[in-house]
């Protein structure tokens, strides 16, 4: 394809992405390198319906001159990235020297917000991604063997976890897993422990978030794999059958290789989405037990005083994290490209 | 199909049992919500005893009947949920149309370019997709207010299209790769320009893949909360932020059930859509993403 | 249902009287655009302010739970999209920090002589907002259960613990204490209450240096932990909605709850008769011997944007003044809040808030960096309550997290 026609064909997409994704990324990266100006603080008296109190306020006039001189803020370089609320380079260094033994170092590391978030995010990604793919594949195989008339409704019901808006989907689920909700009571009955409460224990909370993650995204994997199953070459299957291949061998040596490219596609999307896990944490009120990078951003932007630079730095770290996570797949795509 | 017919009985039974368990897991919360949407909050969200939502004790005390349509009445009539439904329809139709128009052109070009920059373009699109939406939206606010773009449906539509582009491009790129190059190249040998070849040769055969991609775009626009809740004003709210406003920060009594009724209302049209498009979903992906 | 009728009726009233109100507003022209939270009291004010619309006057409102995320951006442009933001004493700080609201002294002098002085919020002598309602957390209890164990309503957290122990001992309830202890904003708020109750100060006077890693901080954390022993084990996931649900289900007998949410507990919806008819409110709770109630007072009020024309500012002031005028209180709106207007008539639900005001509790601090500390508190206290670390360690973590955030915002060097 000629360069010029390529240009005109991708122009609309490129323009949209440039304006609404690339430019914001540039501004976010810039933001993450700057912090706010030093604020001039003065003591003031505040009065209101409940009387007067001594307090502090920002001296706007004094601060104004600083702001006008450097509208972007104070250049901080990578300071925000390395501070305690992010990579915490110096804190980790100190811990490494002071801790006795790896387990001690590990638990102290988990006390730092960034590493605590990474601990959960990486476990979540590592567990949910493969389970989603396996469950999706099994559902696809199972539905593939259902009589045709029933396929429409089965597909719809299988898609439900994916299409119900998480906002209320989890409101209902949150109630269900409550110690007195239907699932919570069921779990207590199953485990024989009447005091069991999913929401009270970190371990169970993680398990629940991961179960929800698999439940929510398995339908996506299922749709993709189900479609792939429709095109498995029947001749190859027949040939394998004649060669005396068992059912499992046919799946192992014919169906799975055929689906590999789809697995790559699903893995790519799932790794990225799982790394940015956020909604389940909010929906299940799991903040006390699990945090993620996206949650940290939400927290920075949602407080009374918004921490823009901190949120920007965490966003950049998220992109870097995703890039590292996807690099093996991307290198392969690079090699295959143009073939 | 022949794989299915050749299955021995035990395997068939095993598959059925697994599928039954999965379907219960997948559908149970929704069916429970459907049932509960006709109860009052005290029953559906009872902390005293979960069985109350089955028996509906408080529903009988408060409304005098075992089932009540109060949630639906409140959401659709008092709170004018139909307005949000209308907005959602507009947003979805526009997002899907624009996404697919830009996406098919771009995806086609990416699949036909032998140069490395096409790969870098795709790679950039993918990495850009990793940007958390919250940060993007927070960044939009200031310029949008400044230029008076905030609150309008059109702004939200363009943002949703843009955020959606990387996924659309990847999927359509994979799809176009599977359409043999000979098809459009022979047309060009016959004297067509690249665009004419695209129009007369590619467009007629691309529909299955486009429909599948369109469905994913549709679902994204339909379910989006992060963008719509921050960029739309009250009159222009789509269904999901409207639903969220029923919950609010401090839940007002009765409103929670509006939200529950709204969830059921939101899901119903999707059922119709899946039934209509199920064949296309399958055939589309079949032709498209199979070879990655 | 009831609340919705309320709003609908409120709006209908506003519409009915709009002709008279228009004259009363006294605005000739201008643009009024309100941003604020979405609870019923604010809806009523926006409806009353909207009655000023007509002719060259436009009144719009955007009331949403996300108001805090959009108000600064929406007031930063020139001209600002929103001419007024409805805020509380915690959230006004962000607007003052970003310098997007204007002092109201000139407007009050010209048009607001009849606004009672106690409704005017001043910062360093300049009027920055006009308050219209008060709120506070205070004791809510089940009087039938306290009667059963033969104890009076507690006045301090120590008494609350004693009562809780007795209720549990007598097998009435397993988890008699409730509280909005959800990790994040709610938990930080509970610590703020408790720490104030111990008599502690959050910052070194006149500076942004945090100073909670002390005896008071430890005492506050220990008391919180002692209370959680009597709470449902899920307490770290319970916000005020979930806590209220527990109360309505009859599982909780004693809690510290927002005055604005007690109406919900005492009405006849969502609970059995023997639960809702036995809910009673008490005053603020004390802790230790500091003599300062362990709670904070809150007001909600409106501000006027800086980057708008004088005409719009004047129109906004007059419309919002009409929105909170004593006339807007009627049978429907009276019960929506503890209004600060002179003709407000309190009902039994409001007694808790009034008692808290009477006990001269501390207002939630209007300090530029309080929000940063609040976030740091919310992120770290759960670790202590879960038993993962010591109180000292938790307080050190909070201070470290706050210091980094405050440095980024330029409050600390």
Across the interface, whether the CB atoms of B141 and C2 are under 8 A apart is answered no
Grade residue B252 by pLDDT with cuts at 50, 70 and 90: low
Answer whether B154 touches A (CB < 8 Å): no
Across the interface, whether the CB atoms of C368 and A83 are under 8 A apart is answered no
Q: Is the pLDDT of residue C178 over 90?
A: yes
**pLDDT tens, A90-113?**
999 999 998 888 988 998 899 999
A83 contacts in C (CB within 8 Å)? 404, 407-408
pLDDT of residue C232: 92
If one compares B244 and A167, the residue with the highest pLDDT of the two is B244
What lies within 8 Å, CB to CB, of C244 at 6+ separation is: C257, C261, C264, C265
What lies within 8 Å, CB to CB, of C96 at 6+ separation is: A57, A58, C123, C128, C368
Indicate the Cα dihedral angle A269, A274, A280, A285, nearest 10°: -160
Tokens of C292: 């300062």
pLDDT of residue C18: 42
B16 contacts in A (CB within 8 Å)? 142
The low-confidence residues of chain A, meaning pLDDT below 50, are none
Across the interface, whether the CB atoms of B106 and A12 are under 8 A apart is answered yes
Domain-embedded: residue B262: no
Give the one of B8, B25, B106 whose C-beta lies nearest to A9's C-beta.
B106
* Domain range for B238: 92-244+273-291
Tell which residue, A107, A108, A290, A110, has the closest CA to residue A201. Answer: A290
Across the interface, whether the CB atoms of A230 and B4 are under 8 A apart is answered no
Overall average pLDDT of the C128-145 stretch? 96
Domain-embedded: residue B18: no
Answer whether B254 touches C (CB < 8 Å): yes
Domain-embedded: residue C302: yes
Answer whether B140 touches A (CB < 8 Å): yes
Domain-embedded: residue B106: yes
**H helix or E strand, kind and range, residue A35:** strand A34-35
Q: Which of C70, C186, C240 to mutate to test the interface with B (most CBs of B within 10 A)?
A: C70
C235 and C142 within one domain: yes
Domain-embedded: residue C383: yes
The C-alpha of A52 sits at a distance from chain B's nearest C-alpha, in angstroms, of: 29
Answer whether C277 touches B (CB < 8 Å): no
Where residue B208 sits, what CATH number does that domain have? 1.10.3720.10
* Domain range for C305: 2-135+298-347
C302 and C219 within one domain: no
Overall average pLDDT of the C161-186 stretch? 95
Across the interface, whether the CB atoms of A285 and C182 are under 8 A apart is answered yes
Domain-embedded: residue B283: yes
Where residue C201 sits, what CATH number does that domain have? 3.40.190.10
Q: What's the rounded Cα separation, in Å, for the pair B93 and B163?
A: 16
Domain-embedded: residue B156: yes
Answer whether C208 touches A (CB < 8 Å): yes
C326 and C212 within one domain: no
Across the interface, whether the CB atoms of C408 and A83 are under 8 A apart is answered yes
The C-alpha of C171 sits at a distance from chain A's nearest C-alpha, in angstroms, of: 16
If one compares C194 and A155, the residue with the highest pLDDT of the two is C194
Across the interface, whether the CB atoms of C73 and B42 are under 8 A apart is answered no
What lies within 8 Å, CB to CB, of A252 at 6+ separation is: none
Give the one of A37, A64, A202 whose C-beta lies nearest to C410's C-beta.
A37
Q: Using the structure block, give the residue that is written with the tokens 């979540």.
A: A124
Q: What's the rounded Cα separation, in Å, for the pair C221 and C216?
A: 9
C206 and C64 within one domain: no
Q: What's the rounded Cα separation, in Å, for the pair C268 and A209?
A: 36
DSSP assignment string, chain B: -HHHHT--HHHHHHHHHHHHHHHHHHHHHHHHHHHHTTS-HHHHT-SS-TTHHHH-HHHHHHHSSS---HHHHIIIIIS-HHHHHHHHHHHHHHHHHHHHHHHHHHHHHHHH--SHHHHHHHHHHHHHHTS-HHHHHHHHHHHHHHTT-TB-HHHHHHHHHHHHHHHHHHHHHHHHHTS-HHHHHHHHHTT--HHHHIIIIIHHHHHHHHHHHHHHHHHHHHH--HHHHHHB-GGG--HHHHHHHHH-SSPPTTHHHHHHHHHHHHHHHHHHHHHHHHHHHHHHHHHTGGG-
pLDDT of residue C203: 95
C212 and C271 within one domain: yes
Q: What's the rounded Cα separation, in Å, for the pair B215 and A200?
A: 39
pLDDT of residue C20: 42
Q: What's the rounded Cα separation, in Å, for the pair C396 and C217?
A: 10
Q: How big is the CA angle at C20 (ends C15 and C23), to the nearest 5 degrees?
A: 120
pLDDT of residue C111: 93
Q: What's the rounded Cα separation, in Å, for the pair B91 and B87?
A: 6
**HSE toward the beta carbon, residue C10, CA cutoff 13 A:** 28
Collapse the DSSP code of C329 into the 3-class scheme (helix H, G, I; strand E, B; otherwise coil) and give the result.
coil
C181 and C46 within one domain: no
Q: How far is CA B242 from CA B94, B99, B114, C165, in A?
A: 19, 24, 47, 44
Answer whether B42 touches C (CB < 8 Å): yes
Domains of chain A with bracketed CATH: 40-75 (no CATH), 76-111 (no CATH), 117-336 (1.10.3720.10)
Q: Is the pLDDT of residue B159 over 90?
A: yes
Across the interface, whether the CB atoms of B109 and A6 are under 8 A apart is answered yes
Q: Which residue of A has its CA nearest to B223?
A: A165
Domain-embedded: residue C413: no
Q: What's the rounded Cα separation, in Å, for the pair A253 and C324?
A: 75
Collapse the DSSP code of A56 into the 3-class scheme (helix H, G, I; strand E, B; otherwise coil) and give the result.
strand
pLDDT of residue B254: 63
Answer whether B291 touches A (CB < 8 Å): yes
C370 and C283 within one domain: yes
* Per-residue burial over B243-277, b = 16 or more CB atoms within 10 Å of its CB, e = otherwise: bbbbbbbbbbbbbbbbbbbbbbbbbeebbebbeeb
B74 contacts in C (CB within 8 Å)? 1, 4
Give the one of C80, C260, C270 whose C-beta lies nearest to B42's C-beta.
C270
Domain-embedded: residue B42: no
ipTM for the predicted complex comes to: 0.90
B230 contacts in C (CB within 8 Å)? 66, 69-70
Overall average pLDDT of the C111-131 stretch? 93
C359 and C331 within one domain: no
**Could you tell me if B108 and B175 are in contact, meaning their C-beta atoms sit under 8 angstroms apart?**
no
Q: What's the rounded Cα separation, in Å, for the pair C27 and C25?
A: 6
The C-alpha of C245 sits at a distance from chain A's nearest C-alpha, in angstroms, of: 11
pLDDT of residue C17: 43
A334 contacts in B (CB within 8 Å)? 119, 123
Q: Is the peptide bond before C79 cis (omega within 30 degrees of 0)?
A: yes
pLDDT of residue C96: 92
Domain-embedded: residue B53: no
pLDDT of residue B283: 60
C62 contacts in B (CB within 8 Å)? 151, 233-234
Q: What's the rounded Cα separation, in Å, for the pair C113 and B222?
A: 51
Q: Which of C67, C72, C74, C124 to mutate to test the interface with A (most CBs of A within 10 A)?
A: C124
Q: How many domains does chain C have?
A: 2
Q: Is the pLDDT of residue B56 over 50?
A: yes
Q: What's the rounded Cα separation, in Å, for the pair B125 and B123?
A: 5
**HSE toward the beta carbon, residue A129, CA cutoff 13 A:** 23
A316 contacts in B (CB within 8 Å)? none
Across the interface, whether the CB atoms of B253 and C1 are under 8 A apart is answered yes
A43 contacts in C (CB within 8 Å)? 205-206
- The Cβ of residue C167 has, within 10 Å, a number of other Cβ atoms equal to 24
B253 contacts in C (CB within 8 Å)? 1-3, 264, 267, 269-270
Q: What's the rounded Cα separation, in Å, for the pair A118 and A104?
A: 18
Overall average pLDDT of the C264-283 stretch? 89
C318 and C266 within one domain: no
Domain-embedded: residue B240: yes
pLDDT of residue C60: 92
**pLDDT tens, C13-67?**
444 444 444 445 888 889 999 999 988 899 999 999 999 998 889 999 999 888 9
C258 and C207 within one domain: yes
Q: In chain A, what is the greatest distance between 2 CA atoms, to the nearest angstrom?
A: 91
Tokens of C159: 């008494």
Grade residue B85 by pLDDT with cuts at 50, 70 and 90: very high
C218 and C115 within one domain: no
What lies within 8 Å, CB to CB, of B196 at 6+ separation is: B187
Q: Using the structure block, give the residue that is written with the tokens 């949150």.
A: A174
All partners of chain A with 3 or more CB pairs under 8 angstroms: B, C
pLDDT of residue A168: 65
Tokens of B279: 């064949």
Q: How many domains does chain B have?
A: 1
Q: Which of B252, B254, B258, B259 to mutate to test the interface with C (most CBs of C within 10 A)?
A: B252
Collapse the DSSP code of C254 into the 3-class scheme (helix H, G, I; strand E, B; otherwise coil) and give the result.
strand
C380 and C340 within one domain: no
Across the interface, whether the CB atoms of B40 and C269 are under 8 A apart is answered yes
pLDDT of residue A169: 67
A64 contacts in C (CB within 8 Å)? 99
- A vs C: CB pairs below 8 A: 183
Across the interface, whether the CB atoms of A41 and C368 are under 8 A apart is answered yes
Across the interface, whether the CB atoms of C249 and B230 are under 8 A apart is answered no
């Amino acid at each position: 394809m000629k360069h010029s026609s390529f240009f005109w064909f991708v122009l609309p997409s490129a323009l949209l992405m440039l304006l609404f994704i690339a430019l914001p990324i540039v501004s976010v990266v810039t933001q993450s390198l700057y912090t706010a100006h030093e604020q001039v603080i003065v003591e003031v008296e505040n009065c209101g319906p409940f009387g007067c109190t001594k307090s502090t306020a920002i001296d706007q006039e004094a601060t104004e001159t600083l702001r006008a001189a450097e509208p972007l803020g104070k250049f901080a370089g990578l300071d925000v990235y390395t501070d305690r609320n992010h990579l915490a380079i110096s804190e980790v260094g100190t811990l490494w020297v002071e801790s006795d033994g790896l387990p001690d170092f590990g638990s102290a590391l988990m006390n730092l917000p960034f590493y605590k978030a990474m601990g959960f995010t990486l476990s979540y990604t590592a567990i949910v991604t493969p389970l989603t793919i396996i469950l999706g594949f099994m559902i696809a195989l199972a539905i593939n063997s259902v009589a045709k008339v029933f396929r429409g409704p089965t597909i719809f019901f299988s898609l439900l976890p994916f299409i119900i808006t998480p906002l209320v989907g989890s409101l209902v689920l949150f109630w269900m897993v409550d110690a007195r909700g239907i699932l919570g009571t069921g779990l207590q009955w199953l485990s024989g422990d009447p005091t069991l409460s999913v929401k009270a224990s970190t371990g169970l909370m993680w398990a629940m978030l991961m179960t929800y993650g698999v439940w929510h995204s398995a339908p996506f994997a299922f749709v993709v794999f189900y479609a792939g199953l429709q095109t498995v070459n029947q001749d190859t299957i027949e040939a394998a059958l004649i060669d005396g291949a068992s059912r499992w061998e046919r799946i192992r040596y014919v169906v799975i290789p055929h689906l590999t490219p789809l697995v790559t596609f699903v893995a790519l999307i799932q790794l990225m989405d799982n790394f940015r896990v956020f909604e389940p944490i909010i929906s299940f009120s799991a903040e006390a037990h699990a945090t993620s990078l996206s949650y940290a951003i939400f927290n920075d932007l949602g407080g009374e005083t918004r921490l823009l630079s901190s949120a920007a730095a965490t966003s950049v770290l998220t992109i870097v994290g995703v890039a590292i996570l996807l690099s093996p797949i991307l290198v392969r795509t690079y090699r295959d490209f143009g073939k | 199909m022949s794989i299915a017919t050749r299955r021995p009985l035990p395997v068939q039974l095993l598959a059925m049992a697994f599928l039954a368990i999965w379907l219960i897991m997948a559908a149970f919360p929704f069916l429970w919500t459907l049932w509960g949407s006709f109860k009052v909050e005290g029953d559906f969200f009872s902390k005293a005893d979960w069985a109350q939502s089955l028996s509906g004790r408080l529903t009988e005390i408060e409304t005098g009947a075992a089932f009540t349509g109060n949630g639906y009445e409140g959401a659709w009539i008092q709170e004018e949920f139909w307005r949000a439904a209308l907005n959602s329809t507009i947003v979805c139709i526009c997002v899907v149309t624009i996404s697919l128009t830009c996406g098919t052109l771009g995806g086609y070009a990416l699949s036909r370019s032998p140069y490395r920059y096409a790969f870098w373009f795709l790679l950039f699109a993918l990495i850009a997709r990793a940007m958390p939406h919250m940060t993007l939206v927070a960044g939009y606010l200031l310029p949008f207010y400044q230029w008076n773009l905030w609150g309008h449906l059109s702004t939200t539509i363009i943002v949703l299209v843009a955020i959606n582009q990387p996924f659309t491009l990847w999927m359509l790129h994979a799809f176009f790769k599977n359409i043999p190059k000979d098809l459009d190249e022979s047309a060009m040998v016959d004297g067509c320009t690249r665009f004419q070849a695209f129009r007369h040769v590619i467009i007629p055969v691309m529909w299955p893949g486009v429909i599948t991609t369109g469905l994913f775009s549709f679902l994204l626009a339909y379910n989006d909360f992060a963008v719509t809740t921050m960029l739309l004003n009250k009159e222009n709210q789509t269904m999901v932020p409207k639903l969220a406003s029923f919950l609010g920060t401090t839940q007002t009594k009765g409103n929670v059930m509006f939200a529950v009724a709204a969830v059921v209302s939101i899901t119903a049209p999707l059922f119709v859509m899946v039934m209509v498009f199920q064949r296309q979903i399958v055939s589309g992906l079949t032709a498209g993403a199979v070879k990655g | 249902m009831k609340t919705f009728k309320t709003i609908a009726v409120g709006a209908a009233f506003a519409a009915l009287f709009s002709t008279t109100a228009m004259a009363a507003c006294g605005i000739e022209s201008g643009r009024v655009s309100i941003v604020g939270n979405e609870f019923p009291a604010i809806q009523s004010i926006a409806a009353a302010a909207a009655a000023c619309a007509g002719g060259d006057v436009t009144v719009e409102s955007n009331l949403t739970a996300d108001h805090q995320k959009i108000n600064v951006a929406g007031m930063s442009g020139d001209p600002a999209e929103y001419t007024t933001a409805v805020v509380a004493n915690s959230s006004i700080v962000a607007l003052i920090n970003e310098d997007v609201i204007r002092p109201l002294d000139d407007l009050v002098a010209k048009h607001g002589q009849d606004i009672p002085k106690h409704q005017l919020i001043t910062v360093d002598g300049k009027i920055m907002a006009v308050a219209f309602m008060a709120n506070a957390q205070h004791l809510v209890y089940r009087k039938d259960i306290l009667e059963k164990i033969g104890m009076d309503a507690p006045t301090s957290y120590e008494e609350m613990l004693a009562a809780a122990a007795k209720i549990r001992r007598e097998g009435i309830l397993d988890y008699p204490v409730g509280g909005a202890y959800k990790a994040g904003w709610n938990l930080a708020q509970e610590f703020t209450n408790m720490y104030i109750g111990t008599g502690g100060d959050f910052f070194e006077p006149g500076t942004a240096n945090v100073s909670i890693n002390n005896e008071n901080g430890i005492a506050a954390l220990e008391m919180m932990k002692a209370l959680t022993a009597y709470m449902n084990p899920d307490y770290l996931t319970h916000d005020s909605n979930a806590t209220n649900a527990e109360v309505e289900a009859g599982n909780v007998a004693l809690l510290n709850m927002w005055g604005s949410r007690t109406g919900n507990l005492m009405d006849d919806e969502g609970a059995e008769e023997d639960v809702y008819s036995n809910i009673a409110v008490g005053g603020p709770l004390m802790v230790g011997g500091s003599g300062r109630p362990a709670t904070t007072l809150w007001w909600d009020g409106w501000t006027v944007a800086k980057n708008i024309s004088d005409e719009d500012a004047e129109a906004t002031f007059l419309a919002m003044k009409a929105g909170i005028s004593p006339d807007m209180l009627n049978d429907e709106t009276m019960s929506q809040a503890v209004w600060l207007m002179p003709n407000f008539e309190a009902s039994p639900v409001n007694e808790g808030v009034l008692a808290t005001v009477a006990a001269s509790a501390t207002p939630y601090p209007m300090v530029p960096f309080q929000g940063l500390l609040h976030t740091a508190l919310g992120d770290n206290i759960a670790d202590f309550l879960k038993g993962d670390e010591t109180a000292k360690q938790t307080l050190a973590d909070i201070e470290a997290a706050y210091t980094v955030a405050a440095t980024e915002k330029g409050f600390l060097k």
